[in-house]
Amino acid sequence: MTSPPVIRRLPETVVNRIAAGEVVERPASAVKELVENAIDAGARRIEVVIRDGGQTAIAVTDDGCGMTADELELALERHATSKLPGDDLMGVTTLGFRGEALPSMAAVARMTITSRTPGADQAWAVTVEGGRRARPQPAAHPPGTRVDVRDLFYATPARLKFLKAARTEQSHVVETLNRLAMAHPEIAFTLSDGTRDLVKLAAVAPRLGADPAEARLERLAGIMGRAFADNAMTILAEREGLRLSGHAGVPTLNRGNAALQFLFVNGRPVRDRLLLGAVRGAYREFLASDRHPLLALFLDVPPEEVDVNVHPAKTEVRFRDSGLVRGLIVGALKHALAEAGHRTSTTVAGAALGAFRPAERPGGALPFGRGGGYGGGHAAAAVRTTGLSDFYAPLPEFDRAPSAPMAMDQDGGAADPPPADYPLGVARAQVHATYVVAQTADGIVIVDQHAAHERLTQEKIKAALAGGGVNRQMLLIPEVVELDEAAVDRLLARAEELAEMGLVIEGFGPGAVVVRETPALLGEMDVQGVIRDLADDLAEYGETIALSERIGDVCATMACHGSIRAGRRLNAEEMNRLLREMEATPHSGQCSHGRPTYVELKLADIEKLFGRR
C-alpha cells in the first residue's frame, strides 16, 4: 500500500511562481504592472524599452517618488504594498494594491530594481534571480525608479512555449501602454524596442482656461488616429454619484471588430461584459451586428460602489448597482447620438474622393476625338447629334411644377433657395434614379435616397409610438403571407405588440398569417417582405425579449420595406423635401446598418482632383 499524501507548506519560490502564472501572463502583463506602479508613484514621465517583444528584456524608468533601501527589500515580499493604508479593499484609489507583481516577476525572471527618493544622497539597487534576492547596494540613478526584467519565464520554461512571436508580443505591449496612456494624458509615455520608438506620447495638460476634455481628446487622437478626433462626440453625464466622460465616434465611423473600444473605471482599463453590452445596446439602432463603433469612455465611480478585487490582473470589476451603470452609459450615448443630428463621418468623404481616378484611354484619346477637339469621324458625329443633345436635355420630371407655390425671381422664373441657407444644400439632379445630388455653399452632397428615407421613416415610427401609438390603415384586400408553422407561431405570439406598432395580423390556417392593417405613414409597402423579415428577427430575438426592448430593430425592418426605393424618379420638390427632413431628423446621417446616407464633398477637394489647386 502506498503511504497517504501529506499536507505540507509549499516553498516560497513555488508560491511566487504560481502567483506569477496568474499575474504575469505574457510580457505585456509585466509591462502593465510596472507602468501602473510608476503611475501610482506619481510619475510624470515613463519610458519603456523592450527587446524581442519583452521576452529578452523589459526596462521601465519613471521619475516618481522612488524607494529607500528598506522599501526596496520589502517591495519584493509578497503582499507588501503602500497602497492600502487603511486595509480597506472597498476604498482602493490606486491602480495596484495586491503587492504581488514584483515578487511574482522576480520568481520567474532576472530582475534589478534601482531607485532613489527625491533629496536622497544616492540611489539603491537590488537584484533578484529566480526568487533569490541579494542585499541592496548603492547605485547611481536620478530621482525615480528603474526596473529591469531580463529573460522573462526563464525559471518556468514551460511558460515560454505559450508565448507568441516577438512581433505579436510587441503588439500586445503597445496596446497595453496605449490603454494606460489614454487614462493619464498628463503623463508622457515612450515605448521603444531599442532601435526605434513604438509609442511616443508627450504629456498633454489642459491649457489655462481650456476644457480638460480637449486635452484628453488630443491624447486619444495620438493613439486612435486623427479620424477619430474629427468624428468624435463628447460624452458627459452624471447620475447618482456616477460620472461618465469621454468620446465616442459617430456610427458611420465603425470597424469590423471592437479593437478600438476602450473602457475605463476610475482610471483603470477594464474589459467588462456589462460595459461592452451597454455600448452595443446604445448603438443597436445605428449599426449592423457585425460592425462596432470607436470610443473611449471613462467611468468614475465612488470606490465603495465598485469591487476591483475580482481578478489578479485587475481587468474585471463588479458594480454594486449594475443597472444604474448600464442605464448611464446607454442614456449618455443615445443622447450624444441624438445631438449629432444628421452628422456623418468625414472619413466617408475621404473614401469617396480616394475612389476618384482621372479617366485614361488608350493612346490618350479623348471621347470626342483626337487632340481634344470635337472632330474625329462618324463616331464623334454620332455623339454630337445624339449624345450631347441627350446630355443637355432636362432631367425627366425635374422641371415638373411643385404642389406648393415657390418664390419667383425678378424675371418670373422659379427662384432656387440659396444653398448657403441649408446644411445639406439644394437639390440639383437625380442620378441613376437612386442618388440625389445637392449643391451646398462650399461643395456638393450626394444622398442615397432609399437609405435616407429609411432612416426618416424609422424615426417617424418611433416618434409615433412614443406619442401614443401608430396610426393604422386597413388594407382593402387583406394580404396572406405563407410561412412555416414555427414562424407563424412566433408572429402570432407577438400580435398584440405588433398591433401597437401599426401592424395587425391574424392566423390564417396552420402555415400562414393574414395582414389586415399596416402603419399609415408607410403608405404602400412590401407586406410580404416585412412579415418574412419580422419572422426572422423574432427567431433571433428569442421568446423572452419584448419587442419594446428591440423597438429600433422592428421599426427599421418595417421602414426598410416602406421607404422610397432605389430606381424611383423624384422631382425637385420631392428631393428638396427629403433634404429638409434629413436636416431636421436625428440620426439621419446613417441608415440602420451604420452605412452613411449621404456623402459631402467640399469644393476645395473637388478642385484638387482637377489640378485647380
Amino acid identity of residue 611, one-letter, is G
Cα 249 to its chain centre, rounded Å, is 6
For 414-613, the fitting CATH number among 3.10.20.30, 3.30.1540.20, 3.40.960.10, 3.30.565.10 is: 3.30.1540.20
- N-term to C-term CA, the chain: 93
Written out in words, the top-level CATH class of the domain with range 212-340 is: alpha beta
3-class secondary-structure state, position 599: strand
Between β-strands 261-265 and 318-319, what pairing exists: parallel, antiparallel or unpaired?
Answer: unpaired
**CB–CB of 601/295 below 8 Å?**
no
3-class secondary-structure state, position 579: helix
Cα 483 to its chain centre, rounded Å, is 38
The span from the CA of 185 to the CA of 204, in Å, is 5
Q: What residues in the chain have per-residue pLDDT under 70?
A: 1, 10, 12-23, 80, 82-93, 96-99, 206-211, 309, 311-314, 342, 344-420, 521, 540-567, 613
pLDDT per residue over 102-142, tens digit each? 888 888 889 999 999 998 999 999 999 877 888 999 999 99
Q: Could you tell me the three cell numbers for 595?
A: 452605412
Please count the CA atoms within 13 angstroms of the CA of 24 that sit on its side-chain side: 28
Whose CA is closest to 55, among 159, 133, 140? 159
Contacting residues for 349 by C-beta, under 8 A, at least 6 apart: 599, 600, 601, 602, 605
Contacting residues for 216 by C-beta, under 8 A, at least 6 apart: 182, 185, 204, 245, 246, 247, 298
pLDDT per residue over 331-372, tens digit each? 999 899 888 876 766 666 666 666 665 555 444 444 434 334
Run of H or E including 198? strand 197-201
For the chain, the structural domain boundaries read 12-201, 212-340, 414-613
CA angle 515, 517, 520 (to 5 degrees): 135
CA angle 175, 180, 186 (to 5 degrees): 130
Amino acid identity of residue 137, one-letter, is Q
The span from the CA of 326 to the CA of 178, in Å, is 25
CA distances from 392 to 381, 395, 567, 572 (A): 16, 9, 21, 17
Contacting residues for 1 by C-beta, under 8 A, at least 6 apart: none
**CB–CB of 445/424 below 8 Å?**
yes
What pLDDT sits at residue 420?
65
What pLDDT sits at residue 394?
43
Looking at domain 12-201, its CATH superfamily turns out to be Histidine kinase-like ATPase, C-terminal domain (3.30.565.10)
* Residue 608, phi then psi, degrees to nearest 5: -65, -35
What pLDDT sits at residue 282?
87
Run of H or E including 24? none
Do the domains at 12-201 and 414-613 have one common CATH topology?
no
Q: Could you tell me the three cell numbers for 170?
A: 510587441
